[in-house]
Amino acid sequence: MKIKREVKIGFFGIITATLFIISVNFLKGKDIFRRSRVFYAVYNSTSGIRDAAPITINGLGVGMVTDMKFQSNNSNLVVLELTVYNPIFIPSNSVARIISLDLLGTKNIEIEFGDSKTGAEDGDTLTGGIQKSLQDEVNEQVAPIKAKAESLLSSLDTMVTVLHTVFNSEARRNISESFTSIRNTLTNLENTSYDLDTLVYGQRKRMERILFNVESITENIRKNDKNISNILSNFSLLSDTLAKANIAGTLTSVNSALTRLSSITEKIDKGEGSLGLLVNDQKLYENLNKSAAQLNELIEDMKLNPYRYVNFSVFPPSKKRMGYEGPVK
């Protein structure tokens, strides 16, 4: 049976289209003859990821990136299509993280398993993540050092400016004079120390005696420690006794007595009462002195002529004997 030309052309076109599709998918990294699952992950930035970038799990290649596109026309989020050929169980909360393979910046997708017991289905969206590149990590480490270096350079610049301002000709002259003063002070200290050494050497025996006396006093105190304790105990008892005594009441009584004495003295000064009249009446004072003198003369006469006042005779004494005569002065 002869095959028609149109059939041959159609069959050839189908084969050509099939080969073209297979070639395009092959160039994209897709293997249409292998069973695969497609997942999606959303990123703020692709960080240099390319089409056909490998997908790994614990370093083992399990698929590749088969498509990259924006999430929508009004969004700057990037959606990656992840085709996984390996039938391994992938938890639904796994993270598809963009990582760096080397220092040249080659990127790939590393799937980090989650702890979910539910597996991700074909067409599910995984959580996207980006691992910091070595350059980013180095920049983060270097940035504080750079800031500190800049601060240090600024401080050094300020210090140099200050030193330049301080160490001018006048400052140098002042510093030189200061060192001269310090040298003179050290010389004086040296002379003083020499004099002190001489004094100590000359008074060595006296100092030895003083130290010996101090040692003797210390020894005596140690030997009389019990007596000192008894004395302190007695002082303590005395202080307790004074504390218990009614000193306040005694002082109050003394104060009251002084107040009454002051009142009596004031009355005497005013001439009130017998004692006040006696102290302040000059005439009474003179009469008392006169009476005292007469009484003294009477007593003196009684000593010289007792018979005038006491008479035991049977016959009365003569008038001559009974006559009064003043005492012989």
Residue 298 lies in a domain: yes
C-alpha 234/C-alpha 229 separation (Å) is: 9
Rounded alpha-carbon distances, angstroms, from residue 287 to 230, 278, 323, 326: 66, 11, 27, 21
Instruction: Summarize pLDDT for 191-204 with one digit per residue, the tens.
Output: 888 888 887 777 77
Residue 15 lies in a domain: no
C-alpha 5/C-alpha 33 separation (Å) is: 31
Residue 77 and residue 44 in contact, taking contact as beta carbons nearer than 8 Å? yes
Residue 175 lies in a domain: no
- Its domain, for residue 88, covers 34-131
Instruction: Select from 112, 131, 150 the last residue of a domain.
Output: 131
Task: Compute and round to an integer the Cα radius of gyration of the chain.
Answer: 66
pTM above 0.85, yes or no: no
Instruction: Summarize pLDDT for 284-301 with one digit per residue, the tens.
Output: 777 777 888 888 888 887
Residue 244 lies in a domain: no
Instruction: Select from 131, 150, 174 the last residue of a domain.
Output: 131
pLDDT at 211: 84
Residue 249 lies in a domain: no
- Mean pLDDT of the residues in the chain: 78
Instruction: Select from 101, 131, 161 the last residue of a domain.
Output: 131
pLDDT at 318: 57
Using the CB atoms, write b or e for 56-70: b if 16+ within 10 Å.
bbeeeebbbbbeeee
Count up the domains in the chain and report the number: 2
pLDDT at 323: 54
Beta-carbon-side half-sphere exposure of residue 1 (alpha carbons within 13 Å):
3
Coil, strand, or helix at residue 11?
helix
Quick one: average pLDDT of 88-100?
A: 89
Residue 79 lies in a domain: yes
Instruction: Summarize pLDDT for 50-63 with one digit per residue, the tens.
Output: 888 888 998 888 88
For residue 129, which of 197, 47, 206 has the smallest C-alpha distance? 47
Amino acid residing at 218: T
User: Taking the CB of residue 119, how many other CB atoms lie within 10 A of it?
Assistant: 13
Using the CB atoms, write b or e for 195-213: b if 16+ within 10 Å.
eeeeeeeeeeeeeeeeeee
Residue 143 lies in a domain: no
Residue 142 lies in a domain: no
- Give the residues across from 60 on adjacent strands: 57
